[in-house]
Structure 1
Amino acid sequence: MDSLTEAVLAGASPAELLREPVPDSYLAAHTRVDDVGMFEDVADKDVRKSMRVGEVPMPELAPDEVLVAVMASSINYNTVWSATFEPMPTFNFLKRYGKRGGFATRHDRPYHVLGSDGTGVVVRAGIGVSRWNVGDHVMMSCIQVDDHEPATHADGMLGAEQRAWGYETNFGGLAHYAVVKANQLMAKPGHLTWEEAGSSMLTAATSYRMLISDKGARIKLGDVVLIWGATGGLGAFAVQMVKNAGGIAVGVVSSEAKARQLRELGCDVVINRSEIGLGGELTPERTIEYGKRLGRIIRDQVGEDPHVAFDYVGRATFGISVFVVRRGGTVVTCGSSTGYQHDYDNRYLWMNSKRILGSHGANLNEQVECSRLFGIGKLRPIVSRVYPLAEVGEATRLVQMNQHIGKVGVRCLAPADGLGVTNRELRDKLGERYLNPLREN
């Protein structure tokens, strides 16, 4: 272990951290360009075969960047995409980014350090960084923007140079160290542990923009919101946000075990996919059939159709979402884990004045507003399991096979669970059961 890492783990002061040299290399979960073709004509693209954990060179720090000693991170679905090299190898993103020149050339490497979540301790700051200091405990946003781009100042998600950190950039959070822009940082809530804080922001902020932000569905008191995959990373935060906004959460899950966990989150209506009969090829006729069944179930429970459908599942559910929302209702989508080509009957959209709203990530202000909700205890983490960095392949496989609930955390530098709490009073007030409703280990 290098001396800087030892100092971080010992809780060293900012002055002591600055005295220790930055190591020449660090441990990171990564893919390699030489492995890109390994899954051609392979039915089971097992991510445990493509994800490596090993030393990579420490990159130079740009003036607007910080180096963070990562205490914990988590698995997101873009980690699965990266490790299966689908829908395209992420090395294509890195090569394109590197062509911008300057510090961007660092990202075009034969390895890709993954991870779009993270929390830790700032250990170095570029000369252009004024807001953050060595020693600060921070959470990292998954979005990198070019703040010289005019559109970024209207909405960071509209900039052409906006990128998902650790997916469309290198030096992500599933590592002992991460390089991020200073405008990705937020203060870590003191009552959260490292693994709780490191598993929250990508999915929580994405759900916040989809449902709460003025860029999203803008749900309000009394709205009925249909949430597909309601115990997943996005869905479990969506349930909390609907409840906090005074809405009625209708969650769909794939098993009775997940249904029990969903009730623990306080979801108003819990529906097992088997009740709808989902399965087989989703033909236009079956889409309408499933939509009618789901609509009847929801009306039986709450007396009316949904105002909003929260859909990141994609091909397997999207046509049903369009059908089932009420007249004037909204389908908000941020992803397509079951396929990007969506089929739906457009008559039910235009003739009933419904709308489809695309949403991606969250801008910095939305991220900060979302992190504030954690800070005051209105949002709680949804970590179910935590793995050490050495077992990141197993953690990613769990998500790949949809055998998880909530978020799967990864300890990077943190030597054990439960560390990093600096506001014990708030944690004790909220209680462990409240803060860990989905925890399995």
Structure 2
Amino acid sequence: MDALAEAVVAGATPADLERLPLPGDFTAAHLRAEDVDNFTGVEDKDVRKSIHIGSVPMPELAPNEVLVAVMASGINYNTVWSAMFEPIPTFTFLKHFGRQDRWAARHDRPFHVIGSDASGVVVRTGSGVRKWKVGDRVVVSPVYVDEEDPATYADGMLGTGMLAWGFETNYGGLAHYCVARTSQLLPKPAHLSWEEAASNPLCAGTAYRMLVSDRGARMTQGDVVLIWGAAGGLGAYAVQLVRNGGGIAVGVVSSERKAEYARRLGCHVVIDRAEIGLTGSEAPADPTVVGKRLGKRIRAATGEDPHIVFEHVGRATFGVSVFVVRRGGAVVTCGSSTGYQHEFDNRYLWMRLKRVIGSHGSNLHEQSAVGRLLDLGHLTPALTATYPLPATAEAARLVQNNDHLGKIGVLSLAPGPGLGVSDPQRREVLAARA
């Protein structure tokens, strides 16, 4: 650990942090361009073989950026995609981005620092930064927008320059330091630990936009919401949002261990995939057969078909989702972990006036709304396990194999779990209400 990082961990003053020199390089979980072809023809693309821990050079800051000393980060499925070099190697994203201007060119390197979640302390600010200062405790949104694109001001997700930080950009959160634009920053919730705060931005923000935002499914009280993968990172926040918003959460999981976790989160109904004939990651031969089984289970438990399907599994479930959602209902999708090519019977979509809503990440206003829910105690972090930065590859392997519950955290500079709480009284009040 370099002197600046040591000072951050020790709680040095902003003035002390400004006086200390930046290191020339820093430790990061990263991919290497030379490994891109290593998985060609390999069935098990084990991410432990492609994620490396080691030094990378410190980049120059752009005027609208900050350097954050990362106290904690988290594993998301896009980290798994990056480490498998799928659907295309992320170095392709970096090369394309690097052609934009001299600042973007910093990202086109033979290494890729991954990670799309982070909490930490600002240690340097670019020359054009106004609001944020050295010493500020922040969380980093995974949405990297182009502030000069007019569409950004209607919705940050609509700008053509919008990228997923740490996936389509370099210098992400699984490191001792990360580089973020000021348009990605929000204050760290004071009652949360570093790792709890870092576990929320990507998954909680995405789930909020999918279900609650007026750009998503616009869930309302009494809505029956089918949540695939209810015990995973996205699902854990979806269950809470449905329950707290007056909806009826119906979770689909793959084991009794996950079923118990979903129930603890507040799922009203929990269904094992195997009970409806879904096994593995392949799409069923006839999605309507599985859909009828699933629909029967949901109606028996709730009395009606789902208003909304929370979909991110993709090929294995999408045909079932379109079939099972009620007439006039909505399937809202943000990903396809089992494959991007979806097949469904379009008659059930058009003749029953159903909708498919594409959703991606969340804008900063939606992220801020999630932060407020966390501060109110209406959302709680879905963190279930924490790994040290050197074990990032092992943590990512858990997510790759779907062996995890909720979110997996990674301690970067934080020397242990449970640190970083600056409002213990608030934490005690919220814990008493739980």
Same fold (TM over 0.5): yes
Does the 8 Å contact 2:284/2:316 carry over to 1? no
> What is the DSSP-based 3-state SS (H/G/I as helix, E as strand, rest coil) of the residue aligned with 1:293?
helix
> By how many angstroms is 1:283 displaced?
4.8
> What is the DSSP-based 3-state SS (H/G/I as helix, E as strand, rest coil) of the residue aligned with 1:55?
strand
Alignment of 1:271 with 2:271, yes or no, is yes
Matched pairs, number: 433
Equivalent AA in structure 2 for residue 282 of structure 1: A
> By how many angstroms is 1:39 displaced?
0.6
Equivalent AA in structure 2 for residue 32 of structure 1: R
Aligned mates of 1:289, 1:96 — CA distance in 2: 43
Aligned mates of 1:116, 1:109 — CA distance in 2: 18
> By how many angstroms is 1:169 displaced?
0.2
Which residue of 2 is the match for residue 119 of structure 1?
119
Q: How do 1:32-431 residues align onto structure 2 when only pairs under 5 Å count?
A: 32-279=32-279, 282-283=283-284, 286-431=286-431
What are the ranges of 5 or more consecutive residues in structure 1 without an aligned counterpart?
435-441
> What is the DSSP-based 3-state SS (H/G/I as helix, E as strand, rest coil) of the residue aligned with 2:23?
coil
> By how many angstroms is 1:244 displaced?
1.2
Aligned mates of 2:432, 2:47 — CA distance in 1: 33
> What is the DSSP-based 3-state SS (H/G/I as helix, E as strand, rest coil) of the residue aligned with 1:305?
coil
> What is the DSSP-based 3-state SS (H/G/I as helix, E as strand, rest coil) of the residue aligned with 1:202?
helix
> What is the DSSP-based 3-state SS (H/G/I as helix, E as strand, rest coil) of the residue aligned with 1:132?
coil
> What is the DSSP-based 3-state SS (H/G/I as helix, E as strand, rest coil) of the residue aligned with 2:70?
strand
Aligned mates of 1:233, 1:409 — CA distance in 2: 11
Structure 1 outlier segments of 4+, above 4 Å: none
> By how many angstroms is 1:431 displaced?
2.3
Aligned mates of 1:50, 1:100 — CA distance in 2: 28
> What is the DSSP-based 3-state SS (H/G/I as helix, E as strand, rest coil) of the residue aligned with 2:38?
coil
Aligned mates of 1:362, 1:279 — CA distance in 2: 31
> What is the DSSP-based 3-state SS (H/G/I as helix, E as strand, rest coil) of the residue aligned with 1:29?
strand
Aligned mates of 1:41, 1:164 — CA distance in 2: 28
Aligned mates of 1:74, 1:243 — CA distance in 2: 25
Does the 8 Å contact 2:115/2:174 carry over to 1? yes
> What is the DSSP-based 3-state SS (H/G/I as helix, E as strand, rest coil) of the residue aligned with 1:420?
coil
Which residue of 2 is the match for residue 438 of structure 1?
none
Summarize the Cα distance change of 1:109–1:432 in structure 2 as closer, same or farther, 3 Å threshold: farther
Which residue of 2 is the match for residue 23 of structure 1?
23
Equivalent AA in structure 2 for residue 33 of structure 1: A
> By how many angstroms is 1:2 displaced?
1.7
TM-score with structure 1 setting the length: 0.97
> By how many angstroms is 1:279 displaced?
3.1
Equivalent AA in structure 1 for residue 305 of structure 2: D
Aligned mates of 2:276, 2:284 — CA distance in 1: 15
What are the ranges of 5 or more consecutive residues in structure 2 without an aligned counterpart?
none
> By how many angstroms is 1:433 displaced?
10
Does the 8 Å contact 2:122/2:133 carry over to 1? yes
Does the 8 Å contact 2:191/2:427 carry over to 1? yes
> What is the DSSP-based 3-state SS (H/G/I as helix, E as strand, rest coil) of the residue aligned with 2:41?
coil
> What is the DSSP-based 3-state SS (H/G/I as helix, E as strand, rest coil) of the residue aligned with 2:361?
coil
Equivalent AA in structure 1 for residue 68 of structure 2: V
Aligned mates of 1:36, 1:357 — CA distance in 2: 33
Q: Residues 121-144 of structure 1, C-alpha deviation per residue, up to 9 Å, x if partnerless?
A: 000111111111111110000010
> By how many angstroms is 1:92 displaced?
0.3
Summarize the Cα distance change of 1:95–1:432 in structure 2 as closer, same or farther, 3 Å threshold: farther
Equivalent AA in structure 1 for residue 262 of structure 2: L
Aligned mates of 1:30, 1:240 — CA distance in 2: 33
Summarize the Cα distance change of 1:28–1:433 in structure 2 as closer, same or farther, 3 Å threshold: farther
Aligned mates of 2:201, 2:91 — CA distance in 1: 24
Equivalent AA in structure 2 for residue 336 of structure 1: S
Which residue of 2 is the match for residue 437 of structure 1?
none
Aligned mates of 2:228, 2:319 — CA distance in 1: 13
Equivalent AA in structure 2 for residue 287 of structure 1: P
